[in-house]
Amino acid sequence: MTARVGFIGLGIMGRGMARNILRAGFPLTVWNRTPSRMDPLVQAGAQPGKDPADVAAQSEIVVLCVSDTPDVEEVLFGAHGVVQGARPGTLVIDCSTISPQATVAFAQRLGERGVHMLDAPVSGGSEGAEQGTLSIMVGGDPEDVDRAMPVFQAMGKAITHVGGHGAGQTVKLVNQILVVGNCLAMCEALLFAQAGGVDLEKCLQAVTQGAAGSWMLSHRGPQILRRDWRPGFTIDLQQKDVRLVLGEADALGVPVMVSSLVFHLYRTLQRRGLGHQGNHALIQALEHLSDIVVGTEEAPSHGEAA
């Protein structure tokens, strides 16, 4: 029998994930803080929920995809939160990226009410969310992972159970360390290529096929050349994840110098009102420092206005 699924949070990632759950044949109830974001899914066959409690009351499995740790706490435990409508045995799957330590605490609080939880943050950008090809890093009990697997398979292709509660969030922060480091390297490389006067399209074609190739370079490099800052993942959300990395690294006593540098570069872009742009717009911080603009026909000389 197909489980009844609820989905809370229909942002840049959640809307594609929810649509793929609906396409897979699950009866779906949705809720979003901005109600208009529910309309396309309701038109496609989903039921609208009045609030998170109502979604939980109509669901056996509830998926969350919201922005930050306080948002998850409010959706779960607020006055109209999931716990107000969930029955014992309900499974909560949190696909947000939040604090690993908070995740462990949330799982314990839910468990005291007989509600199960998995932390299952995702990676793959809005493209992966739309296409159902996300990488999903899952923390929690194995029997809950088995129960959730049909829902995971509707949203993603690489589904890995990485450990107990909080482990999924820890692995997601590992992912984000790699993402921002890779993004910074890509931006430096393209700035160097622009200054060197080579054909940027041919340069990308050459390096993406070798040892320097990566998802970031293949998907975001062409966007940079087109000056296309539409987000697969926004600077503001990326910055929130880097802030989580820095907090956890501080608690663990781990040096994360590149992540710290990226945090401060993103901060300069946020101060310029660019937080809504894609995370690959990191290159604009380097362009500001160098007076070189990638994607123009000629690299301006040092000191010349870009």
Nearest-5° angle of CA 272, CA 276, CA 277?
Answer: 85
pLDDT cut 70: percent of the chain above it = 96
pLDDT bucket at 302, cuts 50 / 70 / 90: very low
Say if residue 202 is exposed, middle or buried (CB neighbours under 10 Å; 0-12, 13-18, 19+): exposed
Q: Cα separation of 65 and 219, whole Å?
A: 23
* 299: pLDDT strictly greater than 80: no
Question: What pLDDT sits at residue 303?
Answer: 33
Instruction: Check if the beta carbon of residue 155 is closer than 8 Å to that of residue 132.
Output: yes
Question: What pLDDT sits at residue 160?
Answer: 98
Class of domain 170-290: mainly alpha
Token readout for 103 is 């995740």
pTM: 0.92
Please choose, from the candidates 192, 182, 176, 173, the residue with its C-alpha nearest in 3D space to the C-alpha of residue 280.
182
**CA 300 remoteness from chain centre:** 35
Name the DSSP class of 94: E
Question: What pLDDT sits at residue 77?
Answer: 98
**Longest Cα separation, the chain:** 67
Establish whether domains 5-164 and 170-290 are of one fold.
Answer: no
- Backbone φ, ψ for residue 98 (5° rounding): -140, -175
**Which residues, other chains included, contact 161 with Cβ-Cβ below 8 Å and sequence gap of 6+?**
138, 139, 140, 142, 145
Q: Catalogue the active-site residues.
A: 172
Question: What pLDDT sits at residue 42?
Answer: 98
Instruction: Taking residues 294-301, report their average pLDDT.
Output: 57
Report pLDDT digits (tens) over 235-248: 999 999 999 999 99
Statement: 5-164 belongs to CATH 3.40.50.300: no
Instruction: Taking residues 159-179, report their average pLDDT.
Output: 98
pLDDT bucket at 131, cuts 50 / 70 / 90: very high
Gap between the terminal Cα atoms of the chain: 61
Question: What pLDDT sits at residue 296?
Answer: 67
Q: Cα separation of 75 and 98, whole Å?
A: 13
Instruction: Taking residues 243-263, report their average pLDDT.
Output: 97
* 147: pLDDT strictly greater than 80: yes
Question: What pLDDT sits at residue 300?
Answer: 37
Q: What is the DSSP string of 212-272?
A: T--HHHHHHHHHHHTT----SSBHHHHHHHHHHHHHHHHHHT---HHHHHHHHHHHHHHHT
Instruction: Check if the beta carbon of residue 7 is closer than 8 Å to that of residue 38.
Output: no
Quickly tell me which residue has 């949203």 as its tokens: 155
Q: Cα separation of 254 and 35, whole Å?
A: 41
Instruction: Check if the beta carbon of residue 225 is closer than 8 Å to that of residue 294.
Output: yes
Name the DSSP class of 1: -
- The pLDDT mean for the chain works out to 95
Alpha-helical runs (H) found in the chain: 14-23, 39-43, 52-57, 69-77, 100-111, 125-131, 142-155, 167-196, 200-207, 215-225, 235-252, 257-271, 283-290
Q: Cα separation of 174 and 196, whole Å?
A: 33
Domain residue ranges of the chain, discontinuous segments joined by +: 5-164, 170-290
